[in-house]
Each structure stands twice: as C-alpha cells, then as structure tokens.
Structure 1
Amino acid sequence: MQTPIELSFQHVEPSEEIKALVHEKAEQLEKFSDRITSCHVYIRAPHKSQRKGNLYEVTIEVRVPGNELVVRHDQNDVAEHEHLRVAVRDAFAAMAIELKRWKNQIEGNVKTHDGMLQGKIVEIRHDEGFGQIITTDNRMIYFHRNSVVDGSFDELQPRDTVELVVQTGESPIGPQASTVRRIGTMEFVPETKPGRR
C-alpha cells in the first residue's frame, strides 16, 4: 500500500483491539492485489438503542489504479453487527470480493460465471446457525451464519443461489465456506448428485 491506512471512528470509542484488527485485515487485502494505493476505513454507530445495543456501520474505500472500490455495511437488521469485530470482518470480506472482481476485469478474465465459486443452498438450519451449499463443481460445502455477508443469514432459504469462498484446508466437518453472499439466479445444472459426508 502506497499510503498508510486511514481509520476514523464516529460515535464509537476507538479501541486498540479494533485498530489492530483493521490494520491486519487491510494488510490481507494486499494478497488479492499489490496495486492498492490507499485504504480508508470509517466506523460508526448510527443508531443507539438500550435494547439492542449499537449496530455498527463499516465503510471501506480502497483506491486502485483508475478506480475506487467502496463497500458499505450498514445492515441495521443484522444482529451479529452489534459486535464490531464481526461488522469489520464482514466489510473486509466484501472488499476482498470487490478486489477480485476488479483484478479479473483488468486482467481480462471476466467471463460468464467466472471468478467466484457459485452454488445453491440445499440445507439451512436457522435455529442452529449453519447450512450447506452444493457448488457448481459438485462439492457439498458447509457454512456458518458468521460467514454470510451482504445480507442476513436468517433471510436465506433453500435453493437460493450464492457465491462463496472456500477455506483453504478442510475443517473436521469437511470443506467450509469462509464467505457466502446471496446473488441473483444463475444457470445451475450439477452433473451428479453428491454423497453426504
């Protein structure tokens, strides 16, 4: 990164823990592109309620040659965003997706359904906070409610189409998604029905 990360807080008490988390996540963005020139992160708590606590809004602006990528997470209906660490993590996960898209565009790699792995939700347990996705390459991938970005886990339904990032290295329960985002309809024709683990 050519300039230091800029971080500002509004209606939020700055903490060393959150500052360190933001710097760590911003540094991780550089593995998606070494052409980032600047990163600005704005954290604020727009609504205060004694019942629900603060629901945080995290905006990230990343400048790359010829473009500015902006992600704004202000999902005031997502209870997990009462936890600032979760809101920061989700915003940076969404920015990682934007950076991958930008990199694919400038490298001329944009094709229909290229880039992000896609799939359909085949099972979702709202009460237990997890679900399973069958991907376009016929894998069954587990995901946790905390991996869902750009929308509430509780709004997801079976047959919803999503794009996802699978963690490197399998967990004890098999392949697991680190990021899941609901997308529009897509062509989805799995060749074979996978067996369950």
Structure 2
Amino acid sequence: METPLELSFADIEPSDEIKSLVAEKVAHLETFYDGITSCHVYIRAPHQSQRKGNLYEVTIEVRVPGDELVVRKHQDDKAVNEHLRVVVRDAFATMVRKLKRWKDQVSGNVKAHDGPLQGKVAEINHDEGYGQIIATDHRLIYFHKNSVVDGSFEALQQGAAVELVVQTGESGIGPQASTVRPIGGLAYDSTSKPSRR
C-alpha cells in the first residue's frame, strides 16, 4: 500500500491481538489485489446491550485506483457480534468478495449487456405453471408463471420470444427468471447448445 494501515478504536480498549489480526487480514487483501492505495479500519463498541454486553461494529475503507470500497458490519443484537474477532473476520471476508468483484469489473471479466437479456421459451408446462427459456447467452433458465408480466402465462407457447431478468442468487434448480416479458420476433441461433452455467 502507498500509505500505512490506519486502525482506529472508539469506546473500546485497543488490544495487540486485534491489531495483529487486522494487519494479517489487510495483508491477505493485498494477495487478491496489490494496487490497494490505503486501508482504514474503524472498530467501535458504541452499544451496551442490556442482555449481552458490548456489541461491536467494524468499518473497513479500502481505496483502490479511482474508487473506494466500504464494508460496514453494524452492531445488532446478534450474539455473534459480541466476539470482536468474529466481527473483524466477517467484515474482511465481505471486503474480499467486494474487492474480487471490483477487480473483475475493471479487468473486463464481467460482461456488460447492451440491453435486457432475451431468449425463447424452450419448454412450457401450463398445467403446473412453469417453463424454461433458452437465453441468448446460452443458459437454460427456469421461470414460474408468476414471473410473467405484460401478458399471460397461458398465452405463452414454446418458441415464443421473451425478455427476462435473472435472479442474482441461483436456486437449487439453477438460474431462475424473476421477470419474463413476451416480445416480438428474435433472431435466434438454433445451433447453440444450452448450458447451465
């Protein structure tokens, strides 16, 4: 890093154990991206819980070229937040994920779509209220009748062109559409094979 780690404590006595843990976690961040310019870590114990004692709060600010990544683990009444080591560990785990996403975006590994994702209905089961769409990015995506907007599920037929929004978290059955909207004609390459990426 261009500037040394800044570590601040508020309403809590600094301990060598926590200072060492934070330094170790910051060094770990740099293994994912060595262009971090600075890192500020704020540790507070602002809330005295009547039931549980101190509940900790950790904020991490990581500056990278052209951006600042921030993670705040706020206190709440979860018993786990009584253990400062756990809160520090969780905050840094979240920062690792955020840093990896940022690095992927700036290196171009995250595909930017020019418009909404489109596809065609590959299978539809009107009786049971679900179907599958083969999308233009070659994924096979499940959808439920409740996700169909601007038209009725019953009117959809196999081969119908649709525009869709895919949920960010995959379900147990693979990618799932949160919104399906029937559209006009779609140029579709039938030689492509579906995949469940």
TM-score range (shorter-chain normalised) is 0.5 to 0.7
What is the aligned partner in structure 2 of residue 92 from structure 1?
A: 92
1:68-147 correspondence to structure 2 within 5 Å: 68-111=68-111
Matches of 1:89 and 1:25, distance apart in 2: 8
Matches of 1:75 and 1:9, distance apart in 2: 15
CA-CA distance at 1:49 after TM superposition = 2.5
What is the aligned partner in structure 2 of residue 61 from structure 1?
A: 61
Deviations 1:155-176 (A, max 9, x none): xxxxxxxxxxxxxxxxxxxxxx
Q: Which runs of 5+ in 1 are unaligned?
A: 113-182, 191-197
What is the aligned partner in structure 1 of residue 42 from structure 2?
A: 42
Matches of 2:46 and 2:107, distance apart in 1: 38
What is the aligned partner in structure 2 of residue 164 from structure 1?
A: none
Secondary structure of the structure 2 residue equivalent to 1:93: helix
Matches of 2:169 and 2:17, distance apart in 1: 39
8 A Cα contact 2:47 2:75, kept in partner: no
User: Larger Cα Rg: Structure 1 or Structure 2?
Assistant: 2
CA-CA distance at 1:79 after TM superposition = 1.3
What is the aligned partner in structure 2 of residue 189 from structure 1?
A: 174
Q: Which amino acid aligns with 2:174?
A: V
Secondary structure of the structure 2 residue equivalent to 1:14: coil
Q: Which amino acid aligns with 1:34?
A: D
Percent identity over the alignment is 68
What is the aligned partner in structure 2 of residue 32 from structure 1?
A: 32
Q: Which amino acid aligns with 1:22?
A: V
* Count of aligned pairs between the two proteins: 121
Normalised to the residue count of structure 1, the TM-score between the two structures is 0.57
Deviations 1:133-170 (A, max 9, x none): xxxxxxxxxxxxxxxxxxxxxxxxxxxxxxxxxxxxxx
Judging changes above 3 Å, is the alpha-carbon distance between structure 1 residues 184 and 81 closer, same or farther for their aligned structure 2 residues?
farther
